[in-house]
Structure 1
């Protein structure tokens, strides 16, 4: 069980707090973002809760998005532009205003130096200069606030609307590749809104560069063309690098898709993977994909760092060229006014070129994601069949993808008719139902289907993570009388009464809190409660015992649904005399269609032996645990952990040292420039030194970028992923997977890991760089302009106070937002797995509404996050402006006491100081928000683990088990500490080589036996011996390698058939071919490509593959958990004969649903209420009044 310790004070409300929506504040409250102040104060003084977060304004609700309208007429990028054009226009206008105002700094430096040079100008001129500066900077800060806010709104709107478009496509698409969904939602959507958000920079950056060039021209004349050359070189270099980054981005997204698909397969099938000892197979596969992904990511980081280096070093070289050209060629004097105004403007030019470089790379990456989302949108929608009052097909051919599944189907089913569909495994029975539901593409023929259909699957039962009652209601209004009638007809009343909270019991993700039979009956009850005209029943009786099957047939199919049209896929031949028609399918075609008395179907099979008993389900009222979050300040150990993850402190130390050296060389270079301006004739002396220190400084900056992003960042990413996968593999099924939704885990492996991959190292590098930048500015200020010491404490103190106020709320908002992504992923995954049922039951709108609620919940958090960021920006901006106003006042007052060259150097460093302190605070706040991804990843790195896979004593068991006997001695088992006992003192002994059957009613404890044998759940008390050895004293891999499990729900994963049969790649081609022949799958080639979750195989074929694995395993203990439930009886009998011969001498324990499966066993154990109620041979148990005999008699 995952336990997170809460940090921070307990919540004690002393003043009532009413969340303030953004539409109610006045003009100034919106202008200065003071409407978020109550939430910030609450976050600082108390523990912020979700109820304290301001509501989302109506205009930002997903219900009001218009992207869907535009996307039906235009390609994605144009649709995004048209649906957001007002915000994009506004942000472009605001961005241009910001650019114009940003140039106030070099202009005012020029005017101030000119004023200080002239002793004749009165003080009033200086005061007017000060007032102008105050006005310009005040307006600039407020416009920047609106600019940032508009950008955040674009991000919010694009994210929510795109997420909705993707989900809406899922509901109507014929098929969606399983590897696309999660990555598109969590990664591609983010890259698209980041690219669209910054689209305005295509106008603002060239404008900023143009103004910079003009100002430089005003200062140095024709020498500006050296700067123009810089611009051309930078753009050419940037385009070269950006194109390569785009190519790498396409490749890295492909690898991420594969990694998420493989991770999803591992997580959803973890129980079987542990049982088969395939952990290393999947870990190797996932880590191999991850290694390829990180190698490409490292190249991207190298290219981006190189790009940044050129954008830093070229302006420095350009400055030197400009000054040389100005002094040598133009024979002009380089004075402080010209030198430092030019230098300051070149820094602005550098910023614009760097932003343009970043923008081009981001947009090219955005284009990759746009194409991926567009490819999803372009997928064909499901074909809507013609509507009519009955099912009618004429010469129809249906296909799944490019493969024809059903051929020449002609069928007419009248209202109220009861039709059975039979046939061998893979004959097309389930596909026939899918064609009626419209889930298959019709290639030829005519089909007419009513739209009032209900569908009930069996082996592929779909259960929502909700209460049992809500799974049955499935969006329909509650009608108590009808509800109780349905429960009775589906034989669920006894099961419900055995649950702790009756029908309000939470039944867990994928129904893990239920037996297979219970899941099948809940799916049936959902269909019956819907009260439709047509019922498509995909073998719902295969997972229930004989008594229940007989009860459902009489009470449900022949009574409650007697007036409905019913099409039943079944392998139970004894019920065929109760239907109106029987359709026999063979190789995707109808071989026979007539009344039961006219059709002969494998008459030699004795159905009376086909008595079935369900497997147990643990009784738990609350299963899925709420996702918790750590509260309060970021623990400083997270940074230490991150550096440890990256391999230690050496490379981070080198990165810090590089930035310190960068700051020192930059200062020395500018001091050399100051001296050059006072001695224009010393060009031979100063120019080489200036270039040495400026270029050398940029090389140190490049080293810092390489170390942090390409070394530290990649190493940490590799370690975190490796440790998370290792933790997931080692996590116990009952204590972790049974209480943790898969979507929550995928959120860690996707969004959080992506943040670690791409953001944290860059955020750390920015903090290091900005800290050194501020330190260098403070140093110059203290040396040449000591008056700054009066303002510095004030600036630092209030900056830290503002930062702390912001972070107290921002941290919690970031955590809430991270958590809010998990339900979105869960809902998406749940929809993918249940899409046929959702569409058939016409629940699309209800699921869309739930998606709306989840997206709006996430948007509400993003909205408040954005407002807090803008409040921080405006508040710190105004604080820095106030400091500059005071600084300008001091400069004006002390103008006669400071040399002009020192004023130029000092202002070049001191004027940007408040802004750089603001950026440092912002960068630090961003780092704290990003490091939460490490916090969340570490929570799952530190989860509880199973007992060791290998222990030293395993080497003494080389030939174990030689005599595979099994003994249970006073065995007690429960799933978790807060759940009831499932096994209550089980005692049994199975001799080596015995074929034993385990039977019993639902909840009796049968499947718990194999969970204990495989130690998938550890014992509460008692001991289990195999070949006389206590299995608790054996490593898990040694134990599980000695046992083969053939489950009812088989594991089939994407890849070829050989990989599925022999994942460890240790069997020969001939052995695999022989296994295929023995399980009647020889029609498939060994290289047959299986799609994700075996979607291109029938349920029976998937079970046969699982059986083939068992034949290749060659272990001495075999556990069958009704491995032939979805197989036709002819194949079942053949397979039983193969099992009898193939596993001769093995100890076989069969958890039986079909009594025919265990009738020839040596011994049968009958379970009841968690204990062994009786045992004996089948003949002995049938000869007396036994529970086993009662099971048999209930069917007859």
Structure 2
């Protein structure tokens, strides 16, 4: 359509064909948009759909195809009906569009054909979408119905975010079902949806692992963890930054539109030419539209950077966990578990919280620049005084940031020391209570917590309050200099039309200037935490080529475990622990390794697992390996989950293992059977029961090679015989597997295919049972002393005392006093049969521990909590904090009211103009200075007094309560 197009107006069925004037250039007084622009507005949604659809198609093309487990006839029928109905709908829309065109030609009335598709094709909270989405919806309903019939526990469903359309994503409509459920009940973990595959921990960890590996290969001496995180999760983060910049532009446009609206209102004052009413409507509509779009972009930005923070946290958790599994022995011995826990809790949380800092930093600079441009347009060169103040404040803030970084590093070191000491106290709580050392350890912990850690936090609080008040004063100083220079230089009086937009701009400056202070503080903490994590990730690992691993070989002539002339040590700086080891284990072989305590039996298994440093020789391992540790451990879950250990449940294999490990009677005595909840310390179970559950877990892995580190030492002799016959021995479940058994149970050695005796890390005897007897060596003497034909049913012949008797044989007497003392300790342990019988009796008389659910408070925070915080923070300090907060707001409000009074009287005041300027500026400066002082007092009291006092009280109170808890409390955790 040409610029001199017709002005079309509909009045009933008439069309006015009068020709209007040429379309003029759009101006800010009389808004007039070109007709070509108006006709192209409908292309914007189409363009958005094309762009959004292209991105979604690209994402869908990279996803693996979903293989359905079974074909559902109902699903096929519903899909056919859906596609048929939508085909008919397309035909109907085409007919309506054709009729609509004919109606325009014949000048009939108009009606919207899109109304017919608005409501009948809605599903749940989603709007009308394509057939593929309805297909997923119907499949979801059918699967949900089947799941409800098969299992009444309401299994977790797939996240609707995967199939949400563009409008649902923009309005967060896909969250509506969760909001409705949360309105009707308290949400639990079972109510949450299953995460999308790309947001699951293993995928995020692998993504970060790849970028971290590239950093290590490019700069092995100084890799950058921040750069690796940016490369792994930087895409959505950049989109969030773009959305934030758009939101800043929309936010900045509000004062400009407000200024034009005030000018429009001022035009209706006496003596001025009134502007068209359409201009006021247009400005008001634009202000509403800007506010609406600003809210939408703001929440999209918040959502994306929050998701990025969660992804960073998940990736770092997985990366630290993987690193902790491959730490070298030297690093493990010099690092407490609390140090790693501190990295995974405090340091990762700080990095997650600082994910918004990068966007906020750029956005703050952007938000400072935009008001400066507007101030320059309104105030002229006097606006440059503001820029000078901001630039001069940067060196001071840099100095504060450096000092805070040093204090933050010290504080994290003190926190590591505190957690390390706390772990020692909790792990040795029995000894502490036995010797009444509670007060001594409380003083020791208090010296680290209150004197060092909280002392450093108090200094950090001083710096934080100073930095916060500094930015508050800078904000006031910017406004003060702007008004001062403008008042003295310009002859234009301050009017409300000028003052209120300036106040609006200064309020816009308050957010970025305050954010800069917080960003600097959080960025310093995040950098310190990132350096700590980076230092941990670059520590020395286990030797990767210590063991050569390959696939399982079905060739019976190829050994599954092969050790040739191996010399191993726990650390490269230590002497050789094992030397000259030669060993070959084939499938179906049982190799028994015997020797006194400290001879190297467990070290030999560690060699095969790759836990030691290979100085020379080779270790070849073929197939999957399962390991049963000498000290059994349990997870805080059910007995069944402890055995399955995440593997798929196989009913036949599971029941066979339960019977072979002699757990049938034990589970029968428990009320909940294998669903009984146990803690990591397994207090409801005896040592023998824990050992058998650990052995069952090892068997259920169904590996090719089994490494068994003395699993029979904690059970009775007859139970040991049962385990050996049903599991380990030639006729047991593992008869076709390669087995290496470290044991001192001599009666079982005669059924082994090969015997190995270790002494001081060397193999002194090796061969079959008959060849060992023929050699007349130390092993033959040991067998003769113990007696091969000792009664297997004598419960007084426990395995551990028999091992102690073996150790006390004069043929292998130890030379050091410490080793002799260790033998005495082992001999004085209570017999396993006694422990077993005592625990069996406790199971029959005591109620077994079932599934324990922690008590959780629901609802709002109780008044007593706030009261306790206020009391322990100090009522005087709380009163000062509240008074300073109120004073800060009052002084800030008085500053605005004083500016209003100044601008209202600026045209009335005549005479001595400098005197009036000094008067108004003096009062304005005093009010701003009082606002900054109140902010400093508020931050000082809150950060350095209230927070420190309450933290000290609650920490000491919780520690005292835990320390005074009975032993049963620690055993049940």
> What TM-score do the two structures reach when normalised by structure 1?
0.56
| Residue 259 of structure 2 is aligned to residue 33 of structure 1 | no
Cross-structure match for 2:935: 701
Shift in Å, 1:694: 0.9
2: distance between equivalents of 1:531 and 1:319? 74
* Preserved CA contact (<8 Å) 2:209 2:319: yes
Rg (Cα) greater in structure: 2
Higher relative contact order (CA 8 A, sep 6+): 1
Distance (Å, rounded) in 2 between the aligned partners of 1:531 and 1:47: 42
Report the Cα distance in structure 1 between the residues aligned to 2:179 and 2:560, rounded to whole angstroms: 61
Within-5 A mapping of 1:179-578: 179-291=338-450, 292-329=452-489, 333-379=493-539, 380=541, 383=544, 385-387=547-549, 389-400=560-571, 402-404=573-575, 406-415=577-586, 416-458=588-630, 460-475=631-646, 483=654, 486-554=657-725, 556-559=727-730, 560=732, 561=734, 564-572=737-745
Q: Which segment drifts farther, 35-44 or 358-367?
A: 35-44
**Aligned partner of 1:720 among 928, 946, 954:** 954
Distance 1:19 1:429 in 2: 49
Cα distance 1:382–1:497, how it changes in 2: closer, same or farther (>3 A)? Answer: farther
1:439 offset after TM fit, Å?
1.7
SS at match of 1:463: coil
Task: Say whether residues 1:68 and 2:227 are aligned partners.
Answer: no
**Counterpart of 1:542 in 2: which secondary structure?**
coil
Residue 102 (1) aligns with residue 256 (2): no
Residue 872 of structure 2 corresponds to which residue in structure 1?
Answer: 645
Q: Distance in 2 between matches of 1:18 and 1:395?
A: 53
Counterpart for residue 84 of structure 1 = 233
CA offset digits 1:868-903 (Å, max 9, x no partner) = xxxxxxxxxxxxxxxxxxxxxxxxxxxxxxxxxxxx
Q: CA shift at 1:696, angstroms?
A: 1.2
Aligned-pair CA distance for 1:103:
1.8
Residue 773 (structure 2) pairs with residue 613 (structure 1): no
Question: 1 CA distance for matches of 2:940 and 2:650?
Answer: 66
Counterpart residue number, 2:880: 654
> Relative to 1, partners in 2 of residues 1:84 and 1:588: Cα closer, same or farther, differing over 3 Å?
same
Residues 580 and 596 of structure 1 are in contact (CA less than 8 Å); yes or no, is this contact kept in structure 2? no
Give deviations 1:1157-1178, integer Å, cap 9, x for gaps: xxxxxxxxxxxxxxxxxxxxxx
How well do the aligned residues superpose, as a CA RMSD in angstroms?
A: 3.2
What SS class does the counterpart of residue 409 from structure 1 fall into?
strand
Of 259, 263, 267, which residue of structure 2 is paired with 1:114?
263
CA distance in 2, matches of 1:172, 1:155: 26
349-358 or 618-627, which moves further after superposition? 618-627
Q: Is the 8 A contact 1:220 1:338 kept in 2?
A: no
Q: Distance in 1 between matches of 2:746 and 2:232?
A: 59
The whole-number CA distance in structure 2 between the counterparts of 1:452 and 1:63 is 21
Shift of 1:699: 0.5
Which moved further from structure 2: 626-635 or 475-484? 475-484
1:4-43 C-alpha deviation (Å, 9 max, x unpaired): xxxxxxxxxxxxx999823455544433335444544543
Distance, in Å, in 2 between the alignment partners of 1:296 and 1:401 is 38
Q: What residue ranges of structure 1 are gaps of 5+ in the alignment?
A: 1-16, 741-1196
Distance in 2 (CA, whole Å) between partners of 1:480 and 1:320 is: 79
Contact 1:20/1:36 (8 A) holds in 2? no
Q: What corresponds to 1:161 in structure 2?
A: 315
Q: Secondary structure at the match of 2:303?
A: helix
Task: Give the drift of 1:308.
Answer: 0.8
Change (3 A) 1:18 1:574: closer
Partner Cα separation in structure 2 for residue 320 and residue 478 of structure 1: 73
How many angstroms does 1:309 deviate by? 0.6
> Does the 8 Å CA contact 1:456/1:536 hold for their aligned counterparts?
yes
| Partner Cα distance (2:894, 2:189) in 1 | 51
1:420–1:570 contact (8 Å) kept in structure 2:
yes
Moved more, 687-696 or 617-626: 617-626
Instruction: Say if 1:509 and 1:624, in contact at 8 Å, map to a contact too.
Output: no
Q: Using the alignment, how far apart are the partners of 1:294 and 1:463 within structure 2?
A: 36
In the alignment, which residue of structure 1 is the partner of 2:299?
Answer: 145
Contact 1:420 1:576 in 2 (8 A): yes
How far off is 1:106 after superposition? 2.7
**Structure 1 Cα separation of the partners of residues 735 and 303 of structure 2:** 62
- C-alpha contact (below 8 Å) 2:464/2:939 kept by paired residues: no
Q: Distance in 2 between matches of 1:62 and 1:472?
A: 24
Cα 1:44–1:439 shift into 2, 3 Å:
same
Alignment match, 1:599: 777
Q: Deviations over 1:957-1013 (max 9, x none)?
A: xxxxxxxxxxxxxxxxxxxxxxxxxxxxxxxxxxxxxxxxxxxxxxxxxxxxxxxxx
- Report the more deviating stretch, 633-642 or 713-722: 633-642
Q: Quick one: distance in 1 between partners of 2:715 and 2:536? A: 39
1:434-453: CA deviation from partner (whole Å, max 9, x where unpaired): 11111222233322233343
Gaps of 5+ in 2: 1-155, 216-223, 550-558, 791-795, 799-830
CA distance in 1, matches of 2:725, 2:188: 53
Instruction: Provide the rounded CA distance (Å) in 2 between the counterparts of 1:481 and 1:46.
Output: 40
**Any conservation in 2 of the 1:84–1:154 contact (CA below 8 Å)?**
yes
Q: Is the 8 A contact 1:642 1:716 kept in 2?
A: yes
Q: 1:485 to 1:317 in 2, by over 3 A?
A: closer
Distance in 2 (CA, whole Å) between partners of 1:666 and 1:223 is 23
Distance in 1 (CA, whole Å) between partners of 2:576 and 2:684 is 34
Contact 2:578 2:604 in 1 (8 A): no
TM-score by length of 2: 0.68
Cα distance between partner residues in 1 of 2:312 and 2:464:
26
- Please give the alpha-carbon distance, in whole angstroms, between the structure 2 residues aligned to 1:97 and 1:672: 34
Mapped to 2, the partners of 1:703 and 1:453 lie a distance apart of: 64
**1:672 aligns to 2:831 (yes or no):** no
Residues 557, 131 of structure 1: alpha-carbon distance in 2 compared, 3 angstrom cutoff: closer
Equivalent residue of 2:708, what SS? strand
Structure 1: how far apart are the matches of 2:189 and 2:720? 48
What SS does the corresponding residue of 2:677 show, helix, strand or coil?
coil
SS of the aligned residue for 1:684 comes to helix
- Decide whether aligned partners of structure 1 residues 126 and 534 sit closer, same or farther in structure 2, where only a CA change above 3 A counts: closer
CA distance in 2: counterparts of 1:54 and 1:430, whole angstroms? 45
Matches within 5 A, 1:1093-1112: none
Note if contact 1:230-1:315 (Cα within 8 Å) is conserved in structure 2: no
Q: Secondary structure of 2:893's partner?
A: helix
CA contact (8 A) 2:471 2:514 kept: yes
Contact persistence 1:383–1:441 (CA under 8 A) = no
Q: CA deviation at 1:376?
A: 3.4
Structure 1 stretch displaced more, 563-572 or 76-85: 563-572
Q: For the residues of structure 1 that align with 2:487 and 2:864, how far apart are their CA atoms?
A: 54
Q: 1:341 to 1:468 in 2, by over 3 A?
A: closer
Deviations 1:455-494 (A, max 9, x none): 2223x11223344344344455666665555445544444
Higher alpha-carbon deviation: 147-156 or 298-307: 147-156
Return 668-677 or 76-85, whichever deviates more: 668-677
Task: Tell me, in whole angstroms, the C-alpha distance in 1 between the residues paired with 2:188 and 2:953.
Answer: 33
Compared with structure 1, are the counterparts of its residues 333 and 393 closer, same or farther at alpha carbon in structure 2 (3 Å cutoff)? same
Partner deviation per Cα, 1:629-681 (whole Å, 9 max, x = no partner): 222233233222222332x4221111111122222222333333334442454
